[in-house]
C-alpha cells in the first residue's frame, strides 16, 4: 500500500508540475498574443518628441531673429493729411510695411493706414525709405478732442506703430518719439529723429 500511495503521490506531483508548465507556456503565449507590441507606439512617440523639439528650436531662432532685427523708424513730418515717416532697414531681409499708426498712451490717434495701390512700402535690405500717408482722422484733431488743455508748443510723447512682414511673417514695431503739438495749424513737430 505504501508503494501505491507513493506512486499516486508522484503522479499528482507530476500532474501538478506538468500543469504548471503547460499553464506557464499557455500564459506566455496568451500574454504575447493579447499584449500589443509597444515598439510602434514608442517609435511614433519618439518622432513626435523630435518634431516638437524641432518646432521649439525653430520658434526660438525666429524669436532671436525678431529681437535682433534692425529696423528703425522716425516721424519726420506730421501736418494734417501729410505725414512722413522714414523707415531704415539695416537687415539682410526685405521688409514689407503693411500699416502705420500713431498712438498716445496706447490710445490710437487715427485708424491704421495701409499703403494705397500706387504706394510701394517695401524696403530693400540695407536701405531706407520715406513712407507717406494721410491718417484719418487727423491725429492732431484726435489729440485736441482727448487732451484739449495742451498748449501750443507742448512737448508730448507719441508712439509710432509699424506692422511689417519679414520672411512672410508679421512683426509689430513700436517707437516712442517726442513731438510738439500745434492745434492751430493741425500739426505735430518731431523734436528728435
Task: State how beta strands 122-123 and 107-108 pair.
Answer: unpaired
Q: What's the total number of domains in the chain?
A: 2
pLDDT at 47: 86
Query: Can you give the residue range of the structural domain that contains 186?
Result: 71-190
Statement to judge: residues 38 and 97 lie in one domain: no
78 close to 188: Cβ distance less than 8 angstroms? yes
Same domain? 16 vs 83: no
Specify whether 52 is located in the same domain as 75.
no
> Is there a single domain that holds both residue 53 and residue 122?
no
- Of 103, 89, 71, which is closest to residue 188 (Cα–Cα)? 103
**DSSP letters spanning the chain:** -HHHHHHHHHHHHHHHHHHHHHHHHHHHHHHHHHSPPTHHHHHHHHHHHHHHHHHHHHHHHHHHHHHT--EEEEEEEEETTEEEEEEEE-SSS-EEEEEEEEEETTEESSPPB---TT---EE-TTEEEEEEE--SS-HHHHHHHH-TTPPTTEEEEEEEEEEEEETTEEEEEEEEEEEEEETTTTEEEES--
Q: What is the pLDDT of residues 112-167, one digit of tens each?
A: 999 999 999 999 999 999 999 999 999 999 999 999 888 888 899 999 999 999 88
User: Are 28 and 81 contained in the same domain?
Assistant: no
Please state the φ and ψ torsions of residue 23, each to the nearest 5 degrees: -65, -40
84 and 160 assigned to the same domain: yes
Instruction: State pTM to two decimals.
Output: 0.64
**Claim to verify: residue 59 and residue 120 sit in the same structural domain:** no
Residues 120 and 44 in one domain: no
Both 62 and 77 in one domain: the answer is no
Residues 84-118: tens digit of each pLDDT = 999 999 888 899 999 999 999 989 999 999 999 99
Question: Which residues make beta-bridge pairs with 171?
Answer: 164
Amino acid at each position: 500500500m505504501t508503494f501505491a500511495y507513493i506512486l499516486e503521490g508522484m503522479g499528482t506531483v507530476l500532474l501538478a508540475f506538468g500543469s504548471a508548465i503547460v499553464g506557464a507556456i499557455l500564459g506566455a503565449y496568451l500574454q504575447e498574443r493579447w499584449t500589443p507590441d509597444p515598439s510602434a507606439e514608442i517609435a511614433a512617440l519618439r518622432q513626435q518628441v523630435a518634431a516638437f523639439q524641432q518646432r521649439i528650436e525653430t520658434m526660438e531662432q525666429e524669436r532671436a531673429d525678431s529681437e535682433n532685427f534692425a529696423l528703425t523708424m522716425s516721424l519726420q513730418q506730421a501736418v494734417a493729411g501729410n505725414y512722413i515717416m522714414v523707415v531704415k532697414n539695416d537687415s539682410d531681409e526685405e521688409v514689407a510695411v503693411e500699416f502705420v499708426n500713431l498712438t498716445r498712451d496706447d490710445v490710437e490717434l487715427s485708424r491704421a493706414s495701409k499703403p494705397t495701390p500706387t504706394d510701394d512700402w517695401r524696403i530693400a535690405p540695407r536701405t531706407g525709405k520715406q513712407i507717406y500717408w494721410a491718417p484719418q482722422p487727423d491725429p492732431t484733431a484726435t489729440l485736441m478732442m482727448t487732451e484739449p488743455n495742451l498748449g501750443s508748443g507742448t512737448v508730448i510723447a507719441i508712439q509710432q506703430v509699424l506692422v511689417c512682414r519679414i520672411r512672410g511673417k508679421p512683426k509689430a514695431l513700436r517707437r516712442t518719439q517726442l513731438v510738439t503739438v500745434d492745434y492751430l495749424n493741425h500739426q505735430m513737430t518731431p523734436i528728435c529723429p
